Amino acid sequence: MKTKNNNEANKDTMKIVLIGLDNSGKTSILKCLKGIKRISAFNFPMPTKGLDVQDFEALNSKYTIWDLGGQEMYIDDYLKDFEKYIKRASKIIYVIDIQDVNRYEIALEYMKNVINSIDIETYIEFSIFLHKFDPDLVFDQNLNEKVIDDFVKKIKDITPPKFINSIYKTSIFAVFEKSTIS
């Protein structure tokens, strides 16, 4: 079976699509990727209004990041014509707020819809960021290793095998480290 290679037309610039629920941290991740370090830049961010595209260079590479605002009024619209958003993209990053336990199911549901909106023949990397996994995160009754393990199992259950090795813990408070968990 021939797969569509999304990279072909865009060898110079790497396009990455950031998607996920509102408040999950997409725009903050984008700022980290751009190398912004001023802590004030991360205070009181406004929700992203629909699509925001940012072009920048880092480490001699060019990037274009499509940040898809996650507020309820926008999220279904992207999926109606998702091919338009991921055209020529190398990577989709699905961002989940790991601290927002009450919205895990909604985040999973949206992720399922995102995956279902990707043409089966499209070759594209799909990473999942379990974000706000801060270095000083304190586990309690609601959020602990078991809760996270169960959640990761559910993620794997709905993620097609070609995407399955790409789940990361991330935090803007860890000098943007990401460590793989599967």
Ligand X SMILES: Nc1nc2c(ncn2[C@@H]2O[C@H](COP(=O)(O)OP(=O)(O)OP(=O)(O)O)[C@@H](O)[C@H]2O)c(=O)[nH]1
Give me the residues that bind ligand X (CB under 6 A), please.
Answer: 22-28, 42, 45, 47-48, 69-71, 131-132, 134, 171-173
**Backbone phi, psi, residue 90, to 5°:** -90, -25
Whole-angstrom CA distances from 134 to 130, 131, 170 are 10, 8, 7
Q: In whole angstroms, how close is the CB of 70 to Mg ion at the nearest point?
A: 7
* Chosen from Mg ion, ligand X, none, partner binding at 42 (C-beta under 5 to 8 Å by type): ligand X
Task: Kindly give the interhelix angle for 145-158 and 104-116, rounded to the nearest 10 degrees.
Answer: 20
Measured between alpha carbons, how far is 100 from 106 in angstroms, rounded to an integer? 10
Give the x/- contact pattern for Mg ion in 12-31, rule: CB under 5 A.
---------------x----
Residue 173 CB neighbours (<10 A): 14
Give the x/- contact pattern for Mg ion in 40-79, rule: CB under 5 A.
--------x-------------------------------
Q: In whole angstroms, how close is the CB of 169 to ligand X at the nearest point?
A: 10
* Chosen from ligand X, Mg ion, none, partner binding at 25 (C-beta under 5 to 8 Å by type): ligand X
Measured between alpha carbons, how far is 166 from 89 in angstroms, rounded to an integer? 17
Q: Which is nearer to Mg ion, 48 or 90 (CB)?
A: 48
What's the number of CA atoms in the CB half-sphere (13 Å) around residue 176?
12
Q: In whole angstroms, how close is the CB of 118 to ligand X at the nearest point?
A: 20
The residues binding Mg ion (CB under 5 A) are 27, 48
